[in-house]
Amino acid sequence: MTDPPPEGGAPAPGGRYGKDLFEPDDPHEAERIDAGALVYDPVTMRRLRALGVGPGWRCLEVGAGTGTVARRLLEAGVEEVVALDRDTGALAALAGPRLRVVAADLTAAGLTAADLTKGGPATEDGTRPAGFDLVHARFVLMHLPERRRLISRLAGWLNPGGWLVLGDAVELPDVLDASSAYRRTMDAMWQALRTTIGTDISSVSAYPHFLREDGLHDVGAELFCPPLVAGGPLARFWSRTWRRMRPALEATGRVDAAVVEEALEYLDSPRLAELGPGLATAWGRRP
């Protein structure tokens, strides 16, 4: 696999997630996202609970998608969740007294925490704090340009003592396997994501350093590689992802229709035996 270029290298493509790939109005997009959530949400919530998330916390869920993490945060008893996304079609029905849905672009110039908390509940002294006790983003920054700047922006939205928790994908390819249909299709996917919408996972392992550079304390990180089981939710997620990306996969020249079809059949086969991409999560606390 050819590693994605480091940020600051080749000019970023002009495409965007949700516009040039994975359009939210596709009737099966929510099912694709939720298949991944079945695997990753329990891992995310174990980490957030370990950091103390619970009653009294104001939380920002960045790139809230279909709202699965936002709902779990409410179940954990937090005071408020602000669910931020550019497209909030899947979130509108979830809005309520403790879940505020905000349609905004994280990359927009001048966006502040105060913009996201306008109209929120006031504290006992009548003021409305502009910051958050938790800012969480999973599988979001890897798809956005200038992600290093965005990490600093998110860190700046924390209340004193608040936690920034970032999760993005890491790839652990089998170096002995460069020619299987699975490996060729997975490599084609990363290339297509990079060239179409600018996805870059090359700096994910540096997130703990970035958090430290932004002045956060108690920085930590962990890696979770979920089992890729035939017929399981993660296999369904990759199958639906590849099916949606099929034209872009073939456009890379790494695969043709026959290779993609073989890879899809493998995901549903009892022969499936792969260490799929993992979720790297990093966290830090504002002093």
pLDDT digits (tens, 9 = 90+) for 99-114: 999 999 999 999 999 8
pTM for the predicted model, two decimal places: 0.90
Give the domains, in start order, of the chain with CATH numbers: 29-173+200-225+275-285 (3.40.50.150)
The CA–CA distances, whole Å, from 1 to 50, 177, 210 equal 35, 10, 26
Q: Which of 97, 109, 67, 112 minimizes the C-alpha distance to 85?
A: 67
CB 190 within 8 A of CB 201: yes
If one compares 247 and 24, the residue with the highest pLDDT of the two is 247
Q: What is the mean pLDDT of the chain?
A: 89
The CA–CA distances, whole Å, from 54 to 48, 81, 165 equal 9, 11, 15
**At residue 151, does pLDDT exceed 50?**
yes
Give 192's DSSP letter: H
pLDDT digits (tens, 9 = 90+) for 184-234: 999 999 999 999 999 999 999 999 999 999 999 999 999 999 989 999 999
